[in-house]
């Protein structure tokens, strides 16, 4: 195999890896989420945001696809969460964790989009 071919193959492979990583990124809180969350909920940390993600990923994709944070406005999320958490048999504490997680992720992604 020529060097050029090898380099192009390596490049394709790296692009695929990046695409996979970016897809997961939509749902996974990063360090940059923490200050955004703390503006509204002082006690937030990465652990509680990740706890929200875990609840969301394990309960909210059972009846339909996992909706992405930017797929709905903040108001729509706030509207549907009580009903959906009821459907998913989640209590108020869990609902709060999901709410903080999803609204924070939403603001983070929205901020990135605007750049």
Binding footprint of ligand HEC on the chain (CB under 6 A):
59-60, 62-64, 67, 72, 76, 80, 84-85, 87-88, 90, 98
Q: Are 105 and 69 in contact (CB under 8 A)?
A: yes
CA dihedral 35, 40, 41, 47 (to 10 degrees): -40
Q: How far is the CB of 99 from ligand HEC (least distance, A)?
A: 9
Q: How far is the CB of 61 from ligand HEC (least distance, A)?
A: 8
Closer by beta carbon to ligand HEC, 69 or else 108: 69
Q: How far is the CB of 97 from ligand HEC (least distance, A)?
A: 10
Distance CA 20, CA 113 (A): 19
């Amino acid at each position: 195999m020529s060097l050029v071919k090898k380099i192009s193959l390596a490049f394709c492979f790296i692009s695929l890896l990046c695409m996979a990583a970016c897809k997961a990124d939509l749902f996974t809180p990063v360090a940059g989420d923490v200050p955004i969350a703390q503006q509204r909920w002082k006690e937030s940390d990465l652990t509680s945001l990740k706890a929200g993600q875990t609840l969301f990923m394990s309960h909210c994709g059972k009846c339909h696809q996992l909706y992405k944070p930017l797929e709905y406005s903040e108001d729509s999320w706030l509207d549907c969460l009580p009903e959906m958490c009821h459907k998913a048999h989640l209590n108020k504490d869990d609902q709060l964790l999901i709410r903080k997680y999803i609204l924070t992720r939403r603001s983070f992604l929205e901020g990135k989009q605007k750049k």
